Amino acid sequence: MAAVFALDALPAHAFLARPALFAAIGEATKAPGGWLQLCAANADECKPLADQARDVTLTPGLLQQLYEINKYVNDRVTWTSDSELYGKAERWAYPLDRGDCEDMVLLKRRLLAKAGWPQGALLITIVEARGQDRARHAVLTVRSDRGEMILDNQTPEILFWYETTYRYLSRQSAADPNVWVSFNAEQAKPGIELTPSPLPPPLGIRP
pLDDT digits (tens, 9 = 90+) for 94-116: 999 999 999 999 999 999 999 99
Q: What is the per-residue pLDDT for 186?
A: 59
In a domain, 193, yes or no: no
Q: What is the pLDDT of residues 115-171, one digit of tens each?
A: 999 999 999 999 998 876 788 999 999 999 999 999 999 999 999 999 999 999 999
Nearest partner of 122 among 34, 53, 38, 65, judged by Cα: 53
Measured CA to CA in angstroms, residue 140 lies from 12, 90, 106, 149, 193 at distances of 30, 18, 8, 8, 25
In a domain, 19, yes or no: no
In a domain, 77, yes or no: yes
Q: What is the per-residue pLDDT for 62?
A: 96
Q: If residue 12 lies in a helix (H) or strand (E), which one and from where to where?
A: none
Range of the domain at 100: 25-183
In a domain, 16, yes or no: no
In a domain, 12, yes or no: no
Give the number of domains in the chain: 1
In a domain, 196, yes or no: no
> Given a cut of 60, is residue 9 above it in pLDDT?
no
Q: What is the per-residue pLDDT for 195?
A: 53
CATH at residue 132: 3.10.620.30
